[in-house]
Structure formats: structure tokens, C-alpha cells
Structure 1
């Protein structure tokens, strides 16, 4: 029905016509309510996330509950757990302490048969975090050597004892990382991959109580090895269209700063963390960095 605006003169004319008319006026039709849409936007489904990696992904507070096979020590406050706190992300933490690159691809028969971490990947997996490479490059032996130097800086130095084999393993690491990326792509072709780096344990020109009797030379060498690993991890990420993540101020949170500011520790007793591993604060910082990368696209 076509409608018009009613002015005062129009109303008066209508009243006169009604008085002269023999027929009754029909009641006006009520105005129709404007149509409203009952459709709402369909929420996006949560991202399916899988965390792959070694103890730098798995271990958080020593007192935190753990999941997975016993040797994996997947702490409830590690960085994959931080990522999984995001309401738009769901998935599984498959990281495992001691893992090398081959344990991402193959089962690990180490007394406790641990399935290949890649088994957690699905064709529809959207997001993968990857912390791997340290144990492929003698990281465990280096940590044990430095730990042994805490009380006495005795010869041989860690570099003289482990430098040659570490160099060889660093040279072979890129090919191993390429194989991991290829396996992820095979199982989850559309997944976005975020590779995380390793925190530097010490500072080259700072001698602190936490570092004990570790010599300046061994400190410098261990820092250099960490930087070289991170460079190889970053380069591999670039080759495979992945993103490398390490908080920009990580070098300000070494084992030589106050316990509440440490993202990594040597002894762990002051931070409730495992020796030579990230603290809960460090895992929180890494998880926050991963989430920032996710939300930035």
C-alpha cells in the first residue's frame, strides 16, 4: 500500500468526507514492522594445532603436572600449553624431551616406545609449532659439560672436548630439518608452521653466581653454538615458507639475571625449572610470541 505523510489540512478533509459519507470508514491497516534478519554470522571453527619438538617445547616448571609418555615430561605450563589457552585454538602437544629430528618422523624405541610425533598431524591441521635441532647438534652433551664445569673449570674445555663433533652435526642439521618439513607438508599440506628458536643460556661478558666456574671461553663458545643452531633453524623455516620465532629480548633473560626475570636456567632450583632448560616464564614468553605471530597472520 502506498503511504503519504498526513498534514493538518489532510486530516481535516478526511474528517469532512467521513461525515458526509453514508458508508463506514475502514480501519487503517497497521504499519508493517520492518523486516529483521534472523541470520547470524557462522563462527570460524578453531584452528587445529599440533606442537612438535624437544624439551625446549616440552619442559616447564618442575612441579607442574606432566602428560604423555613418562620420558617426554610434557609440562602443563610449557609453551604449547600457553598456545592452547587461546579459545580459537585446539589440538595436541606431541613434544617430547630428548627428541631429535628423526623422532618427529619415526617411532622412538628408547625403552618406552614413543610414536612418531608426526602421527598427531592431520590433513586438516592448521597450525604447527616446531622446536627441533638442539639434540641433533650435541646440545645435551654440551649442557652436561657446562653443568660439570660449575664447580671447577678444569681442562679440557667444553669446546676442545666437543667442538669438532658439534661442528659436524651443525653441518648435517639443514638436511635433517628439511626432512622434517617435508614430512609435515606430506601429512598436513595446508598447515602453517612456526619454528621456535633456543634461548641463550649465558652472557659472554658476565660472570654470575649461576654460571659458577664456567670459563669465559666456554661461555662464549656455548653462546655461539646456540646462535648457530638458531640461524640454521631460521634458514630452514625460510626455505619451507615457515616463520621463525624467538622473542626479541631473549638475550636479556639469561641465567645471569634475577630469578624472576630468567627465561632459562642452569641449576633450576631458584625458578622451579629443570636444569639447563627454560623456566615457566620463558615458556610463557615463547607461547606469547607464537600467539602474536599467529594473530598477525
Structure 2
């Protein structure tokens, strides 16, 4: 009789353990199955193709160090298509990148808008023509971002939704370029750096609003790049460099430490 209570306790422990294991195993299996079933398409411009991160494949400069490839390597999806291309604008996404999308697509990533707003030209102006020309060119970009870009983003987002109606779409933004009052002793003026950062903030705000209105997730990479801008002690962005096309793009560390964690958390 003295053994009845210990026996009941032992049986109770075994039953509870069995129930716990049965309760958690299906969830773990479901998570693994969901990852394996992902059909992922990576769209966008040079920030998605991985310009600046090295190890390129083809004219679009798709890098094996770009965040879409890092995600693919970590999660082993059922399929992966990488159509992001250096220099792409919203029209290029619509006309040249949507081929792999269909109703079976489950995940889409995208960064777009910077080239539409003329950021490459603006940066060239800032580097070569001085502060006044820089600020004027940045103000032109701001006018475009506020007035014209929302409609261009809507068109690209609508096209993605139409081609991949069942996909989760994650839109990635752009980092601020400069750490103000940082360690740069040469180059463009502090006023020019502040103007560039302000335009980047505006681009992020507009993009986030358009993404939200389409039901897409938005990945703000500015916090991830904080402390790693140009003029910081640990830069994840190229300043003027060679090859010249890598200038003002994330390094491999910017892709792995900045873009990848933000995308991975949302996907």
C-alpha cells in the first residue's frame, strides 16, 4: 500500500511527458515542412542583387553574398528564383523580373525605388559638384519621391500581387548613408551628408506606407545599419570605391549583418 502514491506519481509523470511530447512534435514538424515548402522569388535592384558584396554572377551583378542567397542557403526552400538586377527601376521589375511568380509562390522579397528617385545621379552630383549642387539635386529627388514614386511603387506592387496572389511579400528599405559628425575628414560636406540621409528617410517612409497599403511587410534596415554607416568606425557601406559601381552599396557584412537579419525576421 505504501507504494501506491509513488506509483501514481510515476504514472502521472509518464503521461504528462507523453502528452507534452505529442503536443510539441507536430508544431516542430509543421515548421520544418513549411520551410521546405517555401517557393521564394527575390526581386529588386542592386541592394537586393548584392552589388558591393562581391562574388558576382552575370551582368545583373547578383552576388552569392546577397541576403536572398543567404536566406536560401539557411532555409533550403523548395524553389528559389533570383531575378533582382543592378540598376533596376520599378518598370524593370514589372517588365523583366516577374517571370518566376505564380500562384504557387509563397515568398517574395523586394527592394526598389532608389533608382527611380535618381539616387545614383544624386550621389555623383554630390561628389563632383559641391554642396550647393548636391542639396539642389537631393531636393529634386525628394520632390520625385513625394510626388511620382508612390504611383510607380503601386504599379510594381499591384503586378506582384496579380502574379503571386498567395505569396507573402517583404519589401526592404534602404539604410542612411552617413553617420553624421563621424570620422570622415574628407569628402562631401556635413550639410550634404545630412541632406542625403534626409532623402533616405523620406524614401523609407514613402515605401513603408505604400507597402502597408498593399498588405506587404516592410523591413526597415536603418536600425540594423545604425553605427555602420559611412564615416562610422565599422562601415557596412562603401563610400567611393573601385569598381565604381560598388560605391554607396552594402558590403558583404552589410548584406549579412544588415539586410539578412531584417528579412529573416519578417519571412
1:134 maps to what in 2?
114
TM-score scaled by length of structure 2: 0.80
Q: 1:80 aligns with which of 68, 81, 92?
A: 68
How large is the RMSD of aligned CA atoms in angstroms?
2.5
**1:205 corresponds to 2:174:** no
**Partner secondary structure for residue 125 of structure 2:** helix
Aligned residues of 1:199 and 1:264 also touching (Cα < 8 A): no
Q: CA deviation at 1:137?
A: 0.7
Matches within 5 A, 1:1-297: 44=33, 45-61=36-52, 63-67=54-58, 70=59, 72-89=60-77, 90-106=79-95, 116-148=96-128, 154=130, 156-164=132-140, 166-206=142-182, 208-209=184-185, 212-247=186-221, 248-258=223-233, 261-268=234-241, 274-285=246-257, 286-294=259-267
Distance 2:70 2:56 in 1: 14
> What does the per-residue CA deviation read over 1:221-254, in whole Å, with 9 as the maximum and x for residues that have no partner?
1001100001111111110111111242322210
Distance 2:211 2:145 in 1: 18
Query: Could you say which structure has the larger radius of gyration?
Result: 1
Q: CA deviation at 1:155?
A: 5.7
Distance 1:283 1:165 in 2: 25
Aligned residues of 2:51 and 2:86 also touching (Cα < 8 A): no
**Partner secondary structure for residue 184 of structure 1:** helix
Call closer, same or farther: CA 1:184–1:265 in 2, change over 3 Å.
Answer: same
Q: CA deviation at 1:127?
A: 0.4
**Partner secondary structure for residue 53 of structure 1:** coil
1:26 maps to what in 2?
none
Call closer, same or farther: CA 1:100–1:252 in 2, change over 3 Å.
Answer: same
